Amino acid sequence: MTSQSEAQYKVFLITGGASGLGAEYAKIFLQLGAKNVAVLDIAEAVGKTFVASLNEKYPVKAMFIKCDVSKEDEIKTAFQQVLDANKRIDVIINNAGIFNDSPHLWRTASDVNWQGVVSFTLKGMEHMRKDKGGTGGTIINISSAAALLKCPSFPMYCGAKLAVLHFGQTLSVPPFFDRTGIRILTICIGPTLTPIVDNLHERSLDTTLVETYLKTIDDPRLYQRIDSAVTAFVKMFQEGEPGSIWLSINNKPGIDITSDINQAFDEFKMKWLA
């Protein structure tokens, strides 16, 4: 468990890693001693420029692979390219996401936010699991505070992020970790000052509903700094127990909310399924 909480000498695969929080994760884990960071993103020009800047500071420790995580064939190709270059993958960060419930993009967004996470998780499991000859590893799935709230103007996004949360906690039910050596972590990230919160009007399911939603979040104090979200992420990586669920919100330190989530599920089970 201790070795899994250290970044040194590990190979990281980060989806959506060319900008935003994904890029910050790449930088911080290289700073913490990662052997190599593979940045996967659909934005090829941005990704190549970013990786070039990483390699200036950390020579030959970063690589860029163009990958649209809504497309299974690109996921397979990218995953294999990382393996071919590094012989192993120790940490997968399923960071790619689209905050867009508009009528023309919700299906692609759902593929990225949900099916892409599942696909990379399954591939990581097959590669890492000790009961099939692997050496274990860590898979981090990015959920959202939206998974814990009801935002009527973004129902598909909320639903996908709740699916990510439930996927991780269900997959991690013992004896998963003891058998596989794979630590599944989930983090729910609250509103953060990244481009994902820009132009929400254009990305909602119903513009008549988004006005009410915007009024509830139209307070700069609700948005945390990027560095705060990254600090919470690293705290989870270093301290998170297998199957744990974390919250990063309001510039607070990372909070382990596993017991709260478990209590909600246990209460329902005791009341209705006992």
For the chain, give every domain's residue range.
3-273
Q: Give the whole-angstrom CA distance, residue 11 versus residue 13.
A: 7
Query: Which H/E stretch holds residue 142?
Result: strand 137-144
CATH code for residues 3-273: 3.40.50.720
> H/E/C letters for each residue in 100-125?
CCCCCCHHHHHHHHHHHHHHHHHHHH
The active-site residue, picked from 9, 25, 58, 157, is: 157
Predicted pLDDT of residue 192? 83
Closest CA to 245 of 175, 182, 165, 172: 165
pLDDT, one tens digit per residue, over 51-78 is 999 999 999 999 999 999 999 999 999 9
Assess whether 9 carries a catalytic annotation: no
Predicted pLDDT of residue 209? 59
What is the β-pairing status of strands 137-144 and 255-256? unpaired
Collapse the DSSP code of 247 into the 3-class scheme (helix H, G, I; strand E, B; otherwise coil) and give the result: strand
Mean pLDDT comparison of 30-34, 201-205, 218-222, 248-252, highest-scoring range? 30-34
Q: Which is more confident, 209 or 257?
A: 257
Q: Give the whole-angstrom CA distance, residue 65 versus residue 44.
A: 8
Closest CA to 211 of 227, 223, 200: 200
Are 41 and 26 in contact by the 8 Å Cβ rule? The answer is no
What single letter denotes the amino acid at residue 33?
G
Task: Give DSSP secondary structure letters for 30-61.
Answer: HHTT-SEEEEEES-HHHHHHHHHHHHHHSTT-
pLDDT, one tens digit per residue, over 116-173 is 999 999 999 999 999 999 999 999 999 999 999 988 889 999 999 999 999 999 999 9
Closest CA to 246 of 163, 179, 168: 168
Q: Give the whole-angstrom CA distance, residue 54 versus residue 60.
A: 9
Q: How far is CA 107 from CA 190, 202, 270, in A?
A: 23, 16, 36
